[in-house]
Amino acid sequence: MLFHRSVRRLRRANGRICLALGLATLAFSASGRAATTASQGVETRTQSPPTFSTEPVWLAADGDKPEVIVFPPRDDSDGPKPVAVMLHGMCHAPEHECPYFANVMTKRGWLVCPRASLTCEGGGPIWSYTKKYDTVEAAVDRVKNRYPGRVRDENRTLMGFSLGALAAMDLAHWGNGKWQTVVLIGAKVMPWGWQLKKNGVERVLMASGDRDMMRWHMFDQARRLSRRGVTSTFMGMGDVGHWFARDMDSWLEGALAWMEVTEDPKDLDERAASR
């Protein structure tokens, strides 16, 4: 008898446990459906027609259209604004590098940061030797199509870091007038003066950290390029290695002052040599 009563008690206890688990499962399912609905609502909002904003905009890859991060100009008045394109380093995503340039570049216009089309073995994007031209032009076209009439397509600025600087050097050599000014950071670039002049490049700024192994190579190439008739200079980034200046906003303002021809290039060459 005692055994049967124990069994009945155990069955009642198990029943209560099962009921509690069932209610908990039901509640969890309901919350999951609510979360899914909320997530779908957010996704729907992000896919709504674009409005002009100074917040960065991420355009996902779509077929042949490359992924690109866009930093709109702070001046949201009507009319086209100039565009600058920044090419990221090897196996490093644009969202990790472009924010260093955004504060200053968006005072003047658009900052467009495409993601390279290939993938490194250990992860991260890397530039294709042959596809980089199409990737960059497609990225600029995506911005022009998304914001019609707001992007000034002539007199662009091209920037690149590390492997992105090598890619930028190639684009500048064969740019057919698309790039007026070029900024190359931390790379063993070999500029061809005659080819840059032929393709409309007017000014080239080379830069690196003081502890970057590319520093003296880039310094020498900037001087060499000036002797070949292309206005060029080197500007150090201070006590850093293969990366950007500690106060990137201040450094970039100085670089843009030189690119916008507000200072004598010879004076800046002498100042850079003393760093």
At 213 the pLDDT is 97
CATH superfamily of 57-273: Alpha/Beta hydrolase fold, catalytic domain (3.40.50.1820)
> Between 132-146 and 163-173, two packed helices, what is the crossing angle to 10 degrees?
80
pLDDT of residue 154: 87
* Residue 172 CB-density burial (10 A; 0-12 exposed, 13-18 middle, 19+ buried): buried
Residue 53: the pLDDT is 60
Structural tokens at position 89:
């380093």
Q: Which among 41, 96, 108 has a CA at the least distance from the CA of 256?
A: 108
The pLDDT value recorded for residue 260 is 87
Question: From first to last of its 275 residues, what are the pLDDT tens digits of the chain?
Answer: 433 444 344 344 444 433 343 433 333 333 333 333 333 332 323 333 344 466 899 999 998 899 999 999 998 788 999 999 999 999 999 999 999 999 999 999 999 999 999 999 989 999 999 999 999 999 999 999 999 999 998 889 999 999 999 999 999 999 999 999 999 999 999 999 999 999 999 999 999 999 999 999 999 999 999 999 999 999 999 999 999 999 999 999 999 999 987 444 444 444 443 33
Structural domain spans, the chain = 1-48, 57-273
pLDDT computed for residue 271 by the predictor: 42
Q: CA–CA separation, 223 vs 205, rounded Å?
A: 11
CB of 108 within 8 A of CB of 256?
Answer: yes
